[in-house]
Structure 1
């Protein structure tokens, strides 16, 4: 496997002459990367460099070194076609009174994907679905949404972190929403399936009316984070979430494309702009549907069915 990985290195990106001020070199290895940043400006403090949330491995004079694994420092993983790409951001976090302004620079290692290689996060806790030029993902995450879940078992009443996302590639910016989402005991829905509704009525998180479930504040328009309170449905048995993901033009939310939380003693609130929470008023009645139009035809958006699971909800000990 290691030999395949070494042979599969398509690109060990060497970025030089970032500007007249610095050089960056990358040594992209099978499971890690060594980054060396050489700075020419005398006022730059090398201790203020970060690779996402990681501090430098070492620094001396005007040179900063990061020697880290791809499982560290919140590296992003993208599998697309026959490419496996790890990406991150090198940041300089100068103080407000510094003459050196803060800046970021992309860090990318790209490989040819071995035929027998599949990232752990996609099986079974993550699902990937293609729709034209877009790729949708949905998966179970750890508590702070920084990586995949370490377990697919959740105690009753605990919060289940779920993230859905859409890879936009060269597409115009898109806003990811979840139109509908129900829990079932089977990976396929049938007329006889017992269902537990979670999100209905074009983006209304109905489960938040009776639980601690909520959409979390957005980090990116192309992602949506859901903290779902573990419910008493098929307890101790496998559970699957059947969801309808929607990627829209981010301009012009309406009552058919939205994400709404129910706030106790307050009412429905729009995730992306609480000032327009009136778009959620229909959550207690019927939010009129509108025919979906596909991005591939140059119009408003695209939708994708997705299944997350299995996972289990267990009785508290």
Structure 2
């Protein structure tokens, strides 16, 4: 598959790199090679990071990465006719020197990659062979959405799923979700909060949004009432998904929605809805049994969109 740089991104990289460094990038399907060559002797090249990955090799002047997208936590999305993989090359040392450079690979999408009635959908790959998905669904969640346009007040059916492969059964949760007008979040992004505070469906306090009953622990269904945000513009839903031990639900690993006249209710066991009480304050982290020794869950950021909300 051919790849090419988006013009605006290329320009920013050339300008930034021309002052004190040079970057060479080779994008291949599923794989990327990146060489960052420094001209400043005080830079410790071992401190460079590509996403979550450390350099494959370093010299006094260069950091080299030969890695797979899935290993470094690249964000992946499908939009229009392209696959887009994005991350950042970062550097930070004890002297306060920092660097953040976007790294983007774009590939032509095969024509048969996904049904045209289900376009676009974004996928993000997680850790330990887990694959996370988010998708727009039809009204009864029985299949993919036929349109990405929703009128104000109607429901936006969203399904998230984790493919578990050989893992023990996991419980999928939406820890945080926001709406934005861009596929990547920036410090000045205009946001609409949907899920906050470690699994609290904040939007349910001001709307009819709700989690739907589960049919399997590896899926979570959200009926999101279309909200008055960026009407007529492209909207992207940014979520942090968490795969967790089903026996380890606590105040920081939960799915809570607000029911008018009843208060906050826990999706998976309403008898323990007291775990949702912190939705009105702050849900603090605490230790609990996890899916793997030494780990407190497996999480991944996923982006869904674009979709459009209209008044009529």
Question: TM bucket by the smaller chain?
Answer: 0.5 to 0.7
Cα 1:143–1:122 shift into 2, 3 Å: closer
Q: State how many pairs are aligned.
A: 202
Q: Does 1:266 align with 2:271?
A: no
Contact 2:137 2:158 in 1 (8 A): yes
Shift of 1:123: 4.0
Q: Deviations over 1:204-229 (max 9, x none)?
A: 00000010100000011000000000
Aligned partner of 2:220 among 208, 224, 228: 224
Q: What are the superposed Cα offsets for residues 64-88 of structure 1, whole Å, 9 maximum, x if unpaired?
A: xxxxxxxxxxxxxxxxxxxxxxxxx
Cα distance change of structure 1 residues 295 and 249 upon mapping to structure 2, 3 Å threshold: closer
Equivalent residue runs for 1:1-317 within 5 Å: 117-120=112-115, 123-290=119-286, 295=291, 299-316=295-312
Q: Give the Å deviation of 1:300.
A: 4.3
What is residue 31 of structure 2 aligned with on the other side? none
Kindly indicate whether the alpha-carbon contact (under 8 Å) linking 1:231 and 1:313 is maintained by their aligned counterparts in 2: yes
Contact 2:124–2:301 at 8 Å: present in 1 too? Answer: no
Q: Is the radius of gyration larger for structure 1 or structure 2?
A: 1
In structure 2, the CA distance between the partners of 1:303 and 1:293, relative to structure 1 (3 Å rule), is: farther
* 1:29 corresponds to: none
* CA deviation after TM superposition for structure 1 residue 116, in Å: 6.3
Structure 1-normalised TM-score? Answer: 0.60
- SS of equivalent to 1:280: helix
Please report the RMSD computed on the Cα atoms of aligned residues, expressed in angstroms.
2.1
Quote the Cα distance in structure 1 between the aligned partners of 2:147 and 2:289.
Answer: 37
Question: Residues 125 and 149 of structure 1 are in contact (CA less than 8 Å); yes or no, is this contact kept in structure 2?
Answer: no
Question: Using the alignment, how far apart are the partners of 2:118 and 2:280 within structure 1?
Answer: 35
- Distance in 1 (CA, whole Å) between partners of 2:184 and 2:144 is 24
**Is the Cα–Cα contact under 8 Å of residues 152 and 228 in structure 2 kept in the other structure?**
yes
Aligned partners of 1:217 and 1:271 also within 8 Å: yes
Q: Deviations over 1:84-138 (max 9, x none)?
A: xxxxxxxxxxxxxxxxxxxxxxxxxxxxxxx764123774134342322100000
1:74 matched residue in structure 2: none
Q: Output the CA distance in 2 between the equivalents of 1:267 and 1:301.
A: 28
